[in-house]
Amino acid sequence: MALLEVKNLSISFGGLKAVDDFSVSIEKGQLYGLIGPNGAGKTTVFNLLTGVYKPDKGSIVLDGKNITGRKTTEINQDGIARTFQNIRLFKELSVLDNVKAGLHNHYKYSTITGIFRLPRYYQVEKQMDEEAMKLLHVFDLDGECDFKASNLPYGKQRKLEIARALATKPKLLLLDEPAAGMNPNETAELMETIWFVRDTFDMTILLIEHDMKLVSGICEQLTVLNFGQVLCQGPTSQVLSNPEVIKAYLGE
């Protein structure tokens, strides 16, 4: 059984179909790419998968559970986490506190405990500090744990956003153009990071990306969207050599 099974997903805005009959099946542990021209509907698909939008029709099944139409927080608890094309960190918070924000799905205490700083509060905070530091160490960010997130270099902000997403303990990680704004050296390092995350955390990853070197270098399977519809699906080398894809996506 696939980890993610999406069937006939559709949504319209003002009568215009942004996503039309989108289907995809992603196996556990895959590195899967979603590509297409600007405005093809890729980020809309991510927003449907994460509950930002509710589909007009279709179904989304994660690890055997139908999550269609559930709230964003519920879908995160079910096992989907994401990053964004424009990095969305809590920039005034520390690097450590950004990761701890992702852990709050799994570590809880009552409002009374938090207000009055009861023993349970300190116990939970200590546990979260320790787990957050372990994640930061994985990404070589533990030495900057007390830095403001906004003071990190761009490439490290990307890593921090991934670390925070992983703190929610997802089954599926969605990366929305993770190489956006990166230079070639940063992109090469990002490729290594994505492989590392997949292998270390036994993670299934779906990414949107325009950097074709990154796509061809890490994605095992691809879906190409054009005008909200699936143009082509299959193994990466096969898809990228498809004449229709070359014409629609590469503009040749």
CA atoms within 13 A on the CB side of 93: 14
- Tens of pLDDT, residues 148-202: 999 999 999 999 999 999 999 999 999 999 999 888 898 899 999 999 999 999 9
Q: List, in order, residues 6 or more apart from 78 with CB less than 8 Å away.
A: 62, 65, 67, 70
Confidence of residue 114 (pLDDT cuts 50, 70, 90): low
Handedness of CA 238, 30, 139, 145 (dihedral sign): positive
How far apart CA 188 and CA 198 sit, in angstroms, is 16
Sequence-separated (6 or more) residues with CB below 8 Å from residue 75:
49, 50, 51, 62, 67
pLDDT at 248: 67
DSSP at 199: H
What is the residue-averaged pLDDT of the chain?
92
**SS3 annotation, 20-69:** EEEEEEECCCCEEEEECCCCCCHHHHHHHHCCCCCCCEEEEEECCEECCC
* Per-residue model confidence (pLDDT) at position 61: 98
Q: Decide if pLDDT at 235 tops 70.
A: yes
The domain locations on the chain are 4-79+170-249
Specify the pLDDT at position 252: 47
Share of the chain above pLDDT 90, in %: 77
Topology of domain 4-79+170-249 in CATH is Rossmann fold (3.40.50)
pLDDT tier, 26 (very low <50, low <70, confident <90, very high otherwise): very high
List the beta strands (DSSP E) in the chain. 4-13, 16-26, 31-35, 57-62, 65-66, 80-82, 172-176, 204-208, 221-226, 229-235
In the chain, the amino acid numbered 104 is H
User: What is the pLDDT, as a whole number, of residue 131?
Assistant: 94
pLDDT at 250: 54
- Shortest CA distance to 87 belongs to which of 206, 207, 181, 168? 181
Signed CA dihedral, 68, 73, 76, 77: sign only: negative
Residue-wise pLDDT tens digits, 87-111: 999 999 999 999 999 998 777 777 7
**Could you give the 3-state DSSP secondary structure of residue 86?**
coil
Residue 1 pLDDT class (50, 70, 90 cuts): confident
Range with the poorest average pLDDT among 10-24, 161-175, 233-247: 233-247
Mean pLDDT of 24-50: 96
Global pTM value: 0.93
